Structure 1
């Protein structure tokens, strides 16, 4: 399942579709190069969940919590996690919280994650530094996540 994206606004709209269809305990894994749009997508999720403050990249903090959202959002970025050291983060605790967990750079902690999740890979269409064209690929694992991906794609189509 793939979607073409031509702007940051479209990326945020896809984030909104994710938020509008997310349920408690959903796990979203985001893959893509630096600057691919993972945080932009998450900003769209946050806005649609009713978060009023800026949704920022958790690259340096590892985790940003937004408990005030309609569905609490836990945004994680494991890019800077050294030696797969999760000792400072209660990952299992976050996964059991009644909210949505979004993880950037999940391959660093893949062995510690549940087997059911929705994975999204964001790929640049060209290499120019200012291009916003992307291809987003949905890779659901498990029945709930297959249904979730289909709901997201249906909502994206309706908004076109």
Structure 2
């Protein structure tokens, strides 16, 4: 499914809709160039989950945990890591809820994951013409809510 996003407000609005419709255990794998809107989308997801803390890219911290919303949000950024370094993090503990409360896992630069969960949404953000963006959402063994499939921004 492809959605054209006119600006950052539209990107955030898509994130809000995602955040309102996601369930515990959902994993969002985000890909796209620098500045394509990955963090903006996660900021919207947090808003949709009822999280009021400021959402910043965890480029240097790797993982930010937000637990005060409808569901916890685990925001990961793999930009500075190589695949072998990512493997050592045991990220599956987040989407399996082994050592943390099961919530939403949003992973920026997901192409650096050497392994993927059994079910996830793949979200690829790309630049379009004149500062517009396009997002392609692909479901891998998980349902996309009707709100998202019928969304027009």
Q: CA deviation at 1:112?
A: 2.3
Aligned partner of 1:135 in structure 2 is 134
Query: Residues of 2 paired with 1:114 and 1:48: CA distance?
Result: 23
Q: CA deviation at 1:82?
A: 3.3
Aligned partner of 2:89 in structure 1 is 89
Matched, 1:10 2:14: no
Q: CA deviation at 1:88?
A: 5.9
Aligned partner of 1:152 in structure 2 is 148
Q: Which runs of 4+ in 1 moved over 2 A?
A: 86-90
Change (3 A) 1:34 1:149: farther
Aligned partner of 1:121 in structure 2 is 124
Matched, 1:99 2:103: yes
Q: Is the 8 A contact 2:127 2:134 kept in 1?
A: yes
Q: Is the 8 A contact 2:28 2:120 kept in 1?
A: yes
Unaligned 5+ runs, structure 1: none
How much is the aligned-residue C-alpha RMSD, in angstroms?
A: 1.7
- Compute the TM-score of the two structures, normalised by the length of structure 1: 0.85
Query: Residues of 2 paired with 1:83 and 1:19: CA distance?
Result: 28
Q: Is the 8 A contact 2:82 2:112 kept in 1?
A: no
Aligned partner of 2:57 in structure 1 is 57
* Greater helix content: 1
Deviation by residue 1:72-119 (Cα, 9 ceiling, x = unmatched): 00001101013531366331211122100001111111x322232110
Q: Is the 8 A contact 1:24 1:71 kept in 2?
A: yes
Query: Residues of 2 paired with 1:149 and 1:49: CA distance?
Result: 15
- Compute the TM-score of the two structures, normalised by the length of structure 2: 0.89
Unaligned 5+ runs, structure 2: none
